[in-house]
Amino acid sequence: MNLVEIELTENEKELLAKQDKRIISSFEATRLEKDARKNWDKFYMRNTTNFFKDRHWTEREFKELNPLSWPDKKYTICESGCGVGNFIFPLLEEHSNIVGYACDFSQRAVDFVAKRAEEQNLSDRLTAFQCDLTDIQLNEKIQSKCDLVTMIFVLSAIHPSKFATALKNLSSLLTIGGKLLFRDYAVNDHAMIRFKPGSKIADRMYARHDGTRSYFFNIEEMKELATESGLEIENISYCERMTVNKKENVEAKRLFLQATFVKRV
């Protein structure tokens, strides 16, 4: 378990310092928040289902998804911020005892999930719906409590002032003893360092060229958010991975924060 932030090279420190020379204005930051849903709808209109690949790695990374540990009963999972369903579909295809829910900020993304479910004859086990994790009581949309809720690269797209609200809403979906599986970008990740001046909104928060946003987490704040949201920390750590951009032949150091939170009361 890695609980220590990765140290930066001098060049990386210089790149981060350059970001501070031109910060996004408060007016533009407000506009990005106002247009958040529209920008994600445009993202999925442009990329359809081609941008992200199905996440077959999740069963390897999260022991909670190891089928050997599952009871022989119906298992309910909600994929929050589902995008086009890259997390939930591999599980539904592999395990017949799973009932799934999938929700996203973007209606276009939800439509893609519903279409794929219909094409794969999974509509009887998967319910997809549009929602904002920060301003809706999700238990009004989901009729039964969930054994697992996932938040995989989702919280980073939400404004920091709304992090706790989103986590509390998702916690309300869990059974007692149910778990929230979390993975997102960590501070000093390669993607954070490569942002150019004019992209930074606030500390560790950036805007991409398409108007979508990304935040980079550290362990201490996630511990505080979990406690504030009524969740107990089962495990939490930084994950370091090396990826290769084959097109540019560039190797990049990716840093993620991974955690499992438990609902006890």
Please check whether residue 250 lies inside any domain of the structure.
Answer: yes
pLDDT score recorded for residue 74: 84
Q: What is the DSSP letter of 122?
A: -
Please check whether residue 3 lies inside any domain of the structure.
Answer: no
Please check whether residue 107 lies inside any domain of the structure.
Answer: yes
Find all residues with CB under 8 Å of 40, minimum gap 6, and list them: 104, 105, 106, 108, 109, 157, 212
The CA distance from 184 to 62, in Å, is: 14
The CA distance from 192 to 195, in Å, is: 6
pLDDT score recorded for residue 246: 64
pTM metric for this prediction: 0.91
The tally of domains found in the chain comes to: 1
The CA distance from 77 to 113, in Å, is: 15
pLDDT digits (tens, 9 = 90+) for 101-115: 999 999 999 999 999
Q: What tokens were used for 104?
A: 């996203």
pLDDT score recorded for residue 1: 58
The CA distance from 243 to 260, in Å, is: 24
Please check whether residue 31 lies inside any domain of the structure.
Answer: yes
CATH for 55: 3.40.50.150
Backbone angles phi, psi at 71, to 5 degrees: -70, 160
The segments of the chain whose pLDDT lies below 70 read: 1-4, 48, 50-51, 67-71, 245-249
Please check whether residue 4 lies inside any domain of the structure.
Answer: no
pLDDT score recorded for residue 122: 96
State the burial class of residue 11 (Cβ atoms within 10 Å of its Cβ: 0-12, 13-18, 19+): exposed
Please check whether residue 130 lies inside any domain of the structure.
Answer: yes
pLDDT score recorded for residue 50: 65
pLDDT score recorded for residue 161: 95
Q: Whole domain around residue 132: which residue ranges?
A: 10-263
Please check whether residue 173 lies inside any domain of the structure.
Answer: yes
Please check whether residue 246 lies inside any domain of the structure.
Answer: yes
